[in-house]
Amino acid sequence: MKPSLRQQFERLALRLSELDARLADPGVATDIGRLRTLAKEQAEAAGVVARFRRYEQREKDRAAAQELLADPEMAEMARDEIADADADLARLSGELQAALLPRDADDDRNAFIEIRAGTGGDESALFAADLARMYLRYAERQGWKTEVLSESVSDLGGYKELVLRIEGEGAYGRLRFESGGHRVQRVPATEAQGRIHTSACTVAVLPEPDETEEVQLNPSELRIDTFRASGAGGQHVNKTDSAIRITHLPTGLVAECQDDRSQHRNKAKAMAVLVARLRDKERTERQAREAATRKGLIGSGDRSDRIRTYNFPQGRLTDHRINLTLYKLGIVMDGDLDDVIGALRSARVTEQLAALETGA
């Protein structure tokens, strides 16, 4: 292990001692918010420090075994111990380096998924419905809760636009790589000649803002409209003007919710979506500035990026960011995204580790 990395872990051990002392302070217990923050940091630091101490112990074990090599009677046992220690050290080293990687605080949040039909007309809208089903099935596999916040249905039953809310631990962290352009190649149901068509949708995944965060929105910069919900949604649809559309005038960003019979609850949900979009806009602009000298492997999540192709005739899915090709399209479309998301997350860690080693 490089001395610079070892120093970082020693500093973290000192920080852990400081956190233990703070949490033992009776005054901290009266501030629930501060207590929760410190306890979370302490738990994370304790896990890393324990792993580092295990690494140090295995170094000592290896050194002791190395000394035994000079004894013919102990040499074979020593070689086995050295091999075991080397394997443990390699594994622990990787885990420790990964622990140093910067964590995005948004990864633990709930997520909004916005799906919009693009080029391809009705076929694009039908593909948007297929993507929505894929994400809903994936969420179901994860044990997450889902709800449709707003929808615009096409003539053939697809979606021109759909906004989903996904509630579950780590939802945004697992779904964040879905942002971008999704292209489909298949024979549309409306194609009489059996020709393969190409159409596309865009997907945007946004972290849901923390309810405890104060978001300062000037009421004079908001236009709030009420309207009657349309499309499938229950008996109350089209009976009351409960749907809400909020427009942020300075940016032109719009959010709406027609999910609930309560106008008040729809307004709260639409406001949450609007805040998420504003935060995403700020994040994208900041990342664009920061990435002027270096483009990330996984990409910025730009909606115009073509990130993935779904080729139905060949049963093939290709993620262009990491050159991943899987011939299990039917399974993926049924919500089994583990291989895809796992590969994207691994690629991100590999890139971050490379940057950590080079000091980038």
User: Can you give the CATH number for the domain in which 50 is found?
Assistant: 1.20.58
What local confidence, expressed as pLDDT, does residue 87 receive?
93
Specify if 357 maps to a domain: no
Residues 225 and 115 occupy one common structural domain? yes
pLDDT computed for residue 213 by the predictor: 55
**Do 68 and 159 reside in the same domain of the chain?**
no
Q: Which residues contact 29 (CB under 8 A, 6 or more apart)?
A: 35
Residues 190 and 283 in one domain: yes
> What is the reported pLDDT for 157?
83
Q: How many CB atoms lie within 10 A of CB 214?
A: 5
Per-residue tokens: 84: 């075991």
Same domain as 254, residue 305:
yes
| 338 and 247 fall within a common domain | yes
pLDDT of residue 308: 95
For residue 144, give its domain range.
Answer: 106-349
Sign of CA dihedral 147, 152, 155, 158: negative
Q: Are residues 88 and 118 in the same domain?
A: no
Give the H or E element holding residue 143: none
Q: Are 218 and 135 members of one domain?
A: yes
The closest of 256, 287, 249 to 274, measured between CA atoms, is 256
Asked, for residue 184, whether it belongs to a domain, the answer is: yes
Same domain, 175 and 283: yes
Specify if 32 maps to a domain: yes
Q: Could you tell me the mean pLDDT of each successive run of 10 residues in the chain, 360 residues long? A: 84 92 85 84 90 94 92 91 93 82 81 90 92 97 92 88 92 92 88 84 87 65 79 47 83 82 81 84 71 45 71 95 94 95 87 66
Q: Residue type for 345, please?
A: R
Residue with tokens 């040499």: 75
Confidence (pLDDT) at 218: 80
Whichever domain contains 207, its CATH number is 3.30.70.1660
Indicate whether 119 belongs to any domain. yes
Distance CA 279, CA 39 (A): 27
Question: What b-and-e string marks burial along 172-210, b requiring 16 or more CB atoms within 10 Å of the CB?
Answer: bbbbbbbbbbbbbebebeeeeeeeeeebbbbbbbbbbbe
Looking at the fold, whether 28 and 87 belong to one and the same domain comes out as yes
Evaluate whether residue 170 is within a structural domain: yes
**CA gap 338, 174 in Å, rounded:** 9
Regarding whether 91 and 16 lie in a shared domain, the answer is yes
Question: How many domains does the chain divide into?
Answer: 2
- Please choose, from the candidates 135, 186, 183, 143, the residue with its C-alpha nearest in 3D space to the C-alpha of residue 167: 143
Q: Would you state the pLDDT for residue 294?
A: 40
Residue 155: what pLDDT? 84
- Domain boundary (35, 64, 99) is at 99
265 vs 27: CA distance, rounded Å: 37
Q: Coil, strand or helix: which one is 149?
A: strand
118 plus 87 within the same structural domain = no
185 in the same domain as 55: no
Assess if residue 198 is contained within a domain. yes
Indicate the pTM of the whole model.
Answer: 0.66
